[in-house]
């Protein structure tokens, strides 16, 4: 996970909020040193770090990965973001769209890879829709098995995870719903 966009978006989010690096560190749980490295383009943070930053600012993940995501939504596939060395890859399918309060990624899980994440902000819900292979989702403390074509919607404001126990790559669409960030109808 890397890129100029993250650098720029993190700086912009911090400037908008009027926060110092130290305050941002407190807010996100990411060290001041790491935040500084990201802003200087010297570090490629893991997905886990990216999520900490997004959660700290109460923003969707694509607010840090894409251009102009807080303006009107784009329906064209965004460029590939990259592949985490840790065995989980992602790219953006739909950047965050405030009309719907959601963003969608394609996630790739290498064989044997397991990725567990802490809770998102209150009210956040995720959809997992398996498009290739077989995988399991951790929700409510239980690993649920999903095959190609299966979907699962679960509360993501509690710890959750994804794992691939097979010898083949697994891929899934991951939509993250942020009801509190959606524009309300007038």
Near Mn ion in 108-147, by CB under 5 A: 117
DSSP string of 79-101, one letter each residue: PP-EE-TTSEEEEEEEEEETTTT
Q: Which residues contact 77 (CB under 8 A, 6 or more apart)?
A: 92, 93
- Measured distance CA(12)–CA(10) in Å, rounded: 5
Q: How far is the CB of 183 from Mn ion (least distance, A)?
A: 22
Number of residues that bind Mn ion (CB under 5 A): 2
Which of the ranges 13-21, 132-140, 152-160, 161-169 carries the binding residues for Mn ion, by CB under 5 A? Answer: 152-160
CB nearer Mn ion, residue 7 or residue 113: 113
Q: Of 113, 105, 95, nearest to 131 (Cα)?
A: 105
Among the residue ranges 68-76, 108-116, 140-148, 153-161, the one whose residues contact Mn ion (CB under 5 A): 153-161
Nearer CB in complex with Mn ion: 7/49: 49
Site residues for Mn ion per CB under 5 A: 117, 156
């Amino acid at each position: 996970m890397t890129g100029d966009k993250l650098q720029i978006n993190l700086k912009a989010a911090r400037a908008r909020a009027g926060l110092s690096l130290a305050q941002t560190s407190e807010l996100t749980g990411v060290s001041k040193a790491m935040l500084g490295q990201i802003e200087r383009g010297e570090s490629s943070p893991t997905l886990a770090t990216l999520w900490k930053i997004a959660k700290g600012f109460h923003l969707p993940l694509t607010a840090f990965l894409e251009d102009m995501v807080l303006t009107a939504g784009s329906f064209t596939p965004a460029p590939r973001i990259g592949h985490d060395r840790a065995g989980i890859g992602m790219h953006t399918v739909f950047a965050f769209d405030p009309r719907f309060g959601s963003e969608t990624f394609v996630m790739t899980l290498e064989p044997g890879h397991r990725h567990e994440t802490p809770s998102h902000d209150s009210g956040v819900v995720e959809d997992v829709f398996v498009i290739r292979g077989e995988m399991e989702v951790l929700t409510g403390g239980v690993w649920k098995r999903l095959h190609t074509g299966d979907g699962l919607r679960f509360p993501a404001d509690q710890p959750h995870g994804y794992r691939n126990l097979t010898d083949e790559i697994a891929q899934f669409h991951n939509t993250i719903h942020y009801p509190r960030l959606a524009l309300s109808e007038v």
